[in-house]
Amino acid sequence: MGNTVYVETTIPSYLTSRPSRDLIVAAHQEMVREWWDRKRGRFEVFISQFVLDEASVGDPEAVARRLQVLAGLPVLDVTDAGRALAKALLSQIPLPNRAATDALHIAVAATNGMDYLLTLNCAHIANAKYRSRIESLCEDHEVKAPIICTPEELMDA
């Protein structure tokens, strides 16, 4: 089993956000904290400039908290192959144009050989409806798709 994880922006967002009154959001926040505190050490954790860019938007205090947890994590390169894969993902999967960065997260993780892509974005990334097409497009681009999962799914890995 592999041990590299690309952490998409929802992870530091849930990790550092104020506790939610919404029970589902609160459960996600707790699971992210538990994975980050107890399981993260089992993996080599990576991000991209896209994670840093997204984490840098919004309330200045929230931005500071997100950037603090991301500080020191290795930043993966975005290659021409990654940009081509992202373009293919956007054109061949019914993703909205606003999901361009989501396609880039998948492409960066795949083209850099990540074993896992950890996310709570279940609309555009960890979406079972898109999984086989993502894997097929990655194969077409001669890279292996990472296992796209939520923290709950990666707790026992």
- Report the CATH number at residue 106: 3.40.50.1010
| Residue 156 within a domain | no
Residue 75: domain span: 4-149
Helical spans, DSSP H, in 9-153: 10-16, 23-34, 49-55, 60-70, 80-92, 100-111, 128-140
| Residue 123 within a domain | yes
| Residue 89 within a domain | yes
| Residue 39 within a domain | yes
| Residue 155 within a domain | no
Q: Mean pLDDT over all residues of the chain? A: 95
Angle at 131 between CA 70 and CA 11, to 5 degrees: 20
Structural domain count, the chain: 1
How many residues make up the chain in this entry? 157
52: exposed, middle or buried (Cβ count in 10 Å: 0-12, 13-18, 19+) = middle
Condensed to tens digits (0 to 9), the pLDDT of residues 94-132 reads: 888 889 999 999 999 999 999 999 999 998 999 999 999
Positive/negative CA dihedral, 23, 146, 81, 66 = positive
Instruction: Tell if the pTM clears 0.75, that is, is over it.
Output: yes
| Residue 8 within a domain | yes
